[in-house]
């Protein structure tokens, strides 16, 4: 299975509710899921999101 990753850096000024809304929005409308969340010493949240890469297969029809 192949994954696509995206990294977000959210400032410490964002409340927990705002961060939750941002992540829910990305999940519902982009198909992303949370892979990793780290809070640094500076208070910034470093979020790694992932989603499956779906490859389309070429289909040949006999005609």
Domain limits of the chain? 1-50
Could you tell me the pTM of the whole model?
Answer: 0.81
Looking at residue 63, its pLDDT comes to: 59
Token pair 């990294």 in the structure block, residue = 7
For 22-44, give one letter per residue: b (16+ CB within 10 A) or e: ebeebeeeeebeeeeeeeeeeee
Q: pLDDT, tens digit, for every residue of 9-49?
A: 999 999 999 999 999 999 999 999 999 999 999 999 999 99
How far apart CA 49 and CA 58 sit, in angstroms, is: 29
pLDDT band, residue 57 (cuts 50/70/90): confident
């Amino acid at each position: 299975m192949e994954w696509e990753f995206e990294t977000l850096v959210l400032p410490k000024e964002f409340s927990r509710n705002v961060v939750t809304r941002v992540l829910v929005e990305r999940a519902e409308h982009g198909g992303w899921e949370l892979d990793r969340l780290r809070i640094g010493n500076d208070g910034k949240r470093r979020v790694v999101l992932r989603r499956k890469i779906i490859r389309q297969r070429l289909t040949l029809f006999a005609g």
